[in-house]
Amino acid sequence: MTTQNANRPDVYTRITDAIVTQLEAGVRPWQRPWSAENTSGRIIRPLRACGTPYRGVNVLSLWLAATEKGYSSPYWFTFNQAKDLGGFVKKGEHGSLVVYANSVKKTEQDENGDEVEHDIYFMRGYTVFNAEQVEGLPTSFAPTPPQVIRPEERIGCADAFFRATGADVKHGGNRAYYALLSDYVQMPPFVSFRDPESYYATLAHELAHWTRHPKRLARDFDQKTWGDEGYAREELVAEIAAAFLCADLGLTLEPREDHAAYLASWLTVLKNDKRAIFQAAAHAQRAADYLHELQPKPAA
């Protein structure tokens, strides 16, 4: 297994710099992979060898790596995982960085001599390889022919998902936004969008904002005015959360024209704070998880 015992700043910097490079080129790394030929014609998150989806900033990092290197397989393996499955990494291949975050318990004595236990958080970077960089893997990891999914069926699932959140969604006008004080989402009429998926992608973005309310996730970046750093951070969270949700729902996320102006403010935030993309991805993951938790539970 190729493990990178990178210290925390190195991990933050490497991933942030890669994303900044894409943003400077006018490309959102959480969108571009979907214009490529995804495995089986579906839009999904990167997957571990066991089939578990990656989460948080690792989703962005591996989508970015897949785009840069042209991978269509969603599966990623450590060197040893590939070896245990009977495969081997092709000669000359270079892996991609993902991170592992955890905490350990440490007991210390306080000023009164009493033992106090607290958590010490750490982050470690390690290397994974895409299935297309590995030979000899089981056939279950090989690309399969695209599945024909009826558009109305896919959108129907999205409709049910967003309806189950219970959010107050109003329709009318020509703007999409979330009103924090009144706690509702405003959407233009469905028929005004250029295609159904654009509607649902926009709704996903606004419902990500909806999760910030104090009675939900209470997300607050100390926004004072429109366009300030707090505003840019919240928009970045909503944008990434919408990308996660659209991937989970099998929807194609197209760039919103009104978000092109945010690129400069996002770049400012990311360049000034190497941890910003990690924090944004973590908040986005929590927003997506919150909306998933509102869905009806399967019957026992």
In whole numbers, what is the pLDDT of the chain averaged over residues?
Answer: 81
- 20-24, 165-169, 294-298, range with the lowest pLDDT: 20-24
What phi, psi does 177 have (nearest 5°)? -165, 165
**Residue with more model confidence, 145 or 243:** 243
- 85-99, 136-150, 224-238, 286-300, range with the lowest pLDDT: 136-150
Residues 129-171: pLDDT tens digits?
Answer: 999 999 999 988 876 554 443 444 457 889 999 999 999 999 8
What is the reported pLDDT for 147?
A: 46
Identify the band that residue 82 occupies on the pLDDT scale cut at 50, 70 and 90.
Answer: very high
Q: Which residues pair with 178 in a beta bridge?
A: 185
HEC-encoded secondary structure of the chain:
CCEECCCHHHHHHHHHHHHHHHHHCCCCCCCHHHHCCCHHHCCCCCECCCCCECCCHHHHHHHHHHHHHCCCCCEEECHHHHHHCCCEECCCCCCEEEEEEEEEEEEEECCCCCEEEEEEEEEEEEEEEEHHHEECCCHHHCCCCCCCCCHHHHHHHHHHHHHHCCCCEEECCCCCEEECCCCEEEECCHHHCCCHHHHHHHHHHHHHHHCCCCCCCCCCCCCCCCCCHHHHHHHHHHHHHHHHHHHHHCCCCCCCHHHCCHHHHHHHHHHHCCCHHHHHHHHHHHHHHHHHHCCCCCCC
Q: In whole angstroms, how far apart are CA 98 and each of 15, 70, 105?
A: 9, 18, 24
What is the reported pLDDT for 148?
A: 41
Cβ atoms within 10 A of the Cβ of 34, count?
17
What is the reported pLDDT for 171?
A: 86
What is the reported pLDDT for 126?
A: 92
- 7-21, 123-137, 140-154, 211-225, range with the lowest pLDDT: 140-154
Contact indicator for 100, 15 with CB cutoff of 8 Å: no
Evaluate if residue 178 carries a pLDDT over 70: yes
Which residue is listed with tokens 């900033």?
Answer: 57
What is the reported pLDDT for 151?
A: 42
- 4-18, 73-87, 194-208, range with the lowest pLDDT: 4-18
- 30-44, 55-69, 83-97, 168-182, range with the lowest pLDDT: 30-44
What is the reported pLDDT for 263?
A: 66
CA distance 95 to 92: 10
One-letter amino acid identity for 296? P
> What's the pTM?
0.66
